[in-house]
Amino acid sequence: MNKIYDFDQVIDRRSTNSIKVDSLQDVFGRADLIPLWVADMDFLSPPEITEAMKIRVEHGVFGYVKTDEAYYSSIINWLKNKHEWAVDKKELSFIPGVVKGIAFAIDEFTNTDDKVIIQPPVYPPFKGTTKGLNRAVINNPLIFENGQYRMDFDNLREIAKLDCKILILCNPHNPGGRVWTKEELKELAEICYDNEILVISDEIHSDLALPGFKHTPFATVSEKAAQNCITLMAPSKTFNIAGIVSSFAVIENVEIRKRYFNYLDARQLGEGTIFGYLAAQYAYEYGEEWLNQAIAYIDNNVKFVDRYFKQNIPQIKAIIPEASFLIWLDCRDLNLAQPELESLFVEKAGLALNSGTFFGKEGKGFMRLNVGCPQSTLKKAMDNLKKAVVL
């Protein structure tokens, strides 16, 4: 009999320095909001990880650690079993975060003022790191059609001629939750390869494909993709261990790998910590059943929210995600300007969500809801929202 994990349990995260909870006052001006913003979950992480860390804590000596073979093999086996992706140990390196990994790639493979393509609405640090490093952001906005997003390949072909150096792909996409298909990724790979645009594929949400969808690693769709990309992954979203930091890069192409890994080596950025290695290894070795149950719970939360909107607040539509625990809400039928929309959620409903425009101006009229929480929390949030919209 499989162990049953309890995702209904409500855990008090206050005073743990959790950004999601303990930064409410600073960010929203109120500490009493229901936190449904920052992309981590309110669930206990798999106890198998916690137990392994407890044992290590009990040892009491925390000197320098080497990268264990078991760490590498846990990742290699996970990628093979979960994503049918055969990766060799030499293609792998620890990195201290996916966003940092993106910044390293921009730093190494572009010069100041070079152009980097992003596809908004998208996770804001794609733009932030690019601009922060004084590179130019070129937008290839996604097309919202029939209630879902798709990539604009015609526009990309035009932009690609502008001597762009990198495209940052969000695979699966945040927000919007698209699990890009093999065909879509193949077309993207073709355009980028032919125009010498290196693809940085952020696959941090890849393990969280919801029922009926299957993640495709960008590197696996064609030889053009495999030879022209850096893939960045992590167990952080998957197993709710973002605060531990245990991301990694996978690079098949020898030249790209040499440059990226040399960049890491020169700055000692490819070295992890005791708990980063340990948590990743135990997550990948022992976390699968927990993940299956977490995905089923999230899927049920998505359905709950969708049903609730349809029955009670039809002015707001849930864009059903194909992956992960974030729901992109189409609030345009409320006919509110963005500040009023934000105020409706915060001031009237007492809810902390990410505003759509946080992800680019293309997010106007949208809000992002995190459903990685007990359903009782969501129920309270939806009841608050219903009152706020109706009254």
Ligand X SMILES: Cc1ncc(COP(=O)(O)O)c(C=O)c1O
In the complex, which residues of this chain contact ligand X (CB under 6 A)? 39, 97-99, 123, 170, 174, 202, 204, 234, 236, 242, 247
Residues 6+ apart with CB under 8 A from 59: none
Nearest-approach distance from CB 244 to ligand X, in angstroms: 10
Nearest-approach distance from CB 100 to ligand X, in angstroms: 6
**HSE on the CB side for 45, CA within 13 Å?**
23
Residue 154 CA to residue 332 CA, distance in Å, equals: 27
Nearest-approach distance from CB 155 to ligand X, in angstroms: 21
Phi–psi pair at 129, nearest 5 degrees: -70, -40
Nearest-approach distance from CB 358 to ligand X, in angstroms: 12
Phi–psi pair at 170, nearest 5 degrees: -110, 105
Q: Is 178 or 317 the residue whose CB approaches ligand X more closely? A: 178
Asked if residues 104 and 95 have their Cβ atoms less than 8 Å apart, the reply is yes
The β-bridge partners of 170 are 202
Residue 329 CA to residue 370 CA, distance in Å, equals: 10
Q: Is 13 or 332 the residue whose CB approaches ligand X more closely? A: 13
Q: Is 39 or 313 the residue whose CB approaches ligand X more closely? A: 39
Please name the amino acid found at residue 229: C
Nearest-approach distance from CB 70 to ligand X, in angstroms: 22
Nearest-approach distance from CB 102 to ligand X, in angstroms: 8
Please name the amino acid found at residue 176: G
Q: Is 97 or 350 the residue whose CB approaches ligand X more closely? A: 97
Asked if residues 38 and 19 have their Cβ atoms less than 8 Å apart, the reply is yes
Strands (E), 187-325: 198-202, 229-233, 247-250, 317-319
Residue 6 CA to residue 127 CA, distance in Å, equals: 37
Phi–psi pair at 125, nearest 5 degrees: -60, -15
Nearest-approach distance from CB 334 to ligand X, in angstroms: 26
Q: Is 116 or 234 the residue whose CB approaches ligand X more closely? A: 234
Q: Is 240 or 377 the residue whose CB approaches ligand X more closely? A: 240
Q: Is 198 or 313 the residue whose CB approaches ligand X more closely? A: 198
